Each structure stands twice: as C-alpha cells, then as structure tokens.
Amino acid sequence: MFRSRLATETHEHERRRMDSSYPFVEFRIPADPAYVRIARLTAGDMGGRAGFSVDELDDVRLAVDEMCATLISAGGPVLELRMQARDRELIIEGRMPDARTVTAPTELSEMLLRALVDSCEFTSSDGGVGFAMSKLARDIV
C-alpha cells in the first residue's frame, strides 16, 4: 500500500472499505482499453457525488485509468469494479478474477497514483489481481 503526501496520517489498517449500508455502483467491463472509458466516466460521476472539485475529478479519472491499465496487463477476460461515494470520500475497488499473470503497477504508475489519490493498494492471489483506492474531497478555500 502507498499513500499520497496528503494522507500521511492514514495507516494501512484504517483504509476504508465498501459499506453495504451506503449505495454503490458495481459493474463489469471487458478487459480491453477501449472499455476503460466507462470506468472513467463512472468514477467522474461518483466523484461529483462525493463533492470533488473539477481538478479532483480529473485526478480520480486518471487514477482509474492507471489502475485499469495495470489490471488489463494481467491478461484476464473481464474487469470487475465497485465504486462508492460517502462522507466526501470516493472508494473504488477493482479486480481481474481470472488473471493469467500476477502484475503490479510500474514505477511511473505508482508515482502518478501517489500524487492523484490518498491511498491505493494492489493485491494478488491465486487466479486474480485487484486494487482498492480512496480519495477524500478537499475543502475548497
């Protein structure tokens, strides 16, 4: 797990997970870069619901693009994504359940994600890779 410079107070065990008592969006897309636009658009809408500024919306769309590209490189047939906006925070989880290879973000992707989101974690297990990220809406001064 890594955190951006804005989330230095967050510890790994404090990372927020989906809460079934709040609404969330769940969908599957083919593991093809042509379909990542659907994930970016959905993340933009959910970020708006969390109260993100225009710049924060751009950040979260780019972060989703990076995370989906990393999962697509694992070679599975489908991406599963879940997004939830609550308490001025956007939580996104994704997984490639039938990944053919274990993958991790490149050094450049990690650097980008550190700058774009508050926390991001990649996981791998038998037959699957996944990620979870969160970003808190900042107060506009």
Tokens read off for 24? 């969330």
| Residue 16, domain member (yes or no) | no
CATH of residue 104: 3.30.565.10
Check residues 115 and 103 and name the one with the higher pLDDT.
115
Tokens read off for 138? 């900042």
Q: Which pLDDT score is estimated for 58?
A: 97
| Residue 56, domain member (yes or no) | yes
Q: CA-CA distance, 78 to 32, in Å (whole number)?
A: 8
Number of domains present in the structure of the chain: 1
Please name the residues in contact with 13: beta carbons below 8 A apart, sequence gap of 6 or more: none
| Among 89, 99, 133, 96, residue whose Cα is nearest residue 1 | 133
What does pLDDT average to over the chain?
A: 87
pTM of this prediction?
A: 0.85
Domain containing 90 equals 2-7+25-136
Check residues 29 and 139 and name the one with the higher pLDDT.
29
Q: pLDDT tens-digit profile of 71-90? A: 999 999 999 999 999 999 99
